[in-house]
Structure 1
Amino acid sequence: MSAIDQNWLQLFDVAMKHLFAIDHFDAGLDDEQLACFADFPPYEAAMIFGEKFDLARADVHWFAKEHQKLI
């Protein structure tokens, strides 16, 4: 049985999908690796994971509205 709280894991996956367009399965995280982040709130844990592994943010808008006028 998993030592990771399933509610936390679900919220972590939501944050990961929002921030990086992947979930813990896509990232290849097992229970031991998830336990390293489980002391943090899910969104913060996702941010820390992304920073640690230098993931590109999926929620960043590449063009500001001012720049879109130039295209």
Structure 2
Amino acid sequence: MELMHDELAEIEQEINEQLQKVRETIAQAKADKVEMVEIDVDILEMMLVDCDPEATILFPTHP
């Protein structure tokens, strides 16, 4: 049971790190007034969306 808890904690940490990188990238894109941002988030796709881990998510920004 503790091993499972440790694995979940590790996965949660990885997801949090990826989310932080995504937030930073989007914030910088907004500051630079970029119309579209491409972000590779393999772990989030695999864990949360069950997508192809090689897929790319596009985040359009709106003025």
- TM range, smaller chain: 0.3 to 0.5
State the TM-score, normalizing by the size of structure 1: 0.31
Structure number with the higher helix fraction is: 2
Give the number of the structure with larger relative contact order, counting CA–CA contacts within 8 Å between residues 6 or more apart: 1
State the TM-score, normalizing by the size of structure 2: 0.34
